[in-house]
Amino acid sequence: MKDIYYFTKKELLEVWRTKRLLILLIVFIIFGILSPLMAKLTPEILKSSFGSEIQLTIPEPTSIDSWVQFYKNITQMGIYILVILYSNSVSGEVSRGSLTNLVTKGLNRSAVITSKYLVIAMQGVLAVCLSFSITAAYTAYYFPDNNSPHIVIALVPLLIFMLFLSALIVFGSAISSNSFAGLLFTITTIALFYLMNLFENISKFNPISLIGENVSILQGETQLNEQYWAMSISLLATIFLFSAAISVMNKKKL
């Protein structure tokens, strides 16, 4: 536990000094502000784009439009920013040789993986929750309606997916020799999950489905327990990837 504490402290200092945490938070704050703003302005933008010659019937935006923008921004851009920032989390340490002296002096290799995972997962969850809070505040201001009654429940699958994604990033980096290979592994794995989601019999077990039904859940059209299998498998996969990353790290030549 002492190894985990000190290495986690070192990791937190590093992500702050390298500005990675700052970059992540700024991007997600922007997403939080833009999501309701784009929902509010999109009808006006469309009207001005087509001009007065073409009559467009555009429905008034609601809170649903704001949350659609939020989940689109997070799942189509936000998660990949996290992947890009931390795809070299383990491979970078190994290639620089910065772990050699620490391991020689008694640092447990499992502490490296544990700390890496904790720091990445904490940042991912923090960024999502911060962006969510900003979107919720602006959405309540711009769209004071009752169309989105379950916003907190809808966030749960996304947070579980972030835990899974963090483990995938660490594992991909642990088996790779450089940041590009780790990035390629993680992106390819996510792409395969998207392809698997095309098959209805598989989709309910697929971790990627956790970032596809959020708007439906917040509207009450889908119940959270309908994603029980996807959430359970994602958590089990998180444990498996985490354990596998430790196994790889224990055998890796430093």
| 237: Cα within 13 Å, side-chain hemisphere | 22
- Short-list 150, 159, 172, CA closest to 127: 159
Portion of the chain with pLDDT greater than 90, in percent: 70
pLDDT digits (tens, 9 = 90+) for 3-32: 888 889 999 999 999 999 999 999 999 999
Angle 105-110-115 from CA coordinates, rounded to 5°: 95
User: What pLDDT does 1 receive?
Assistant: 80
Mean pLDDT of the region 187-192: 96
pLDDT digits (tens, 9 = 90+) for 106-147: 888 899 999 999 999 999 999 999 999 999 999 999 999 989
User: What pLDDT does 59 receive?
Assistant: 75
Q: What is the dihedral of CA 20, 188, 192, 171, to 10 degrees?
A: -60
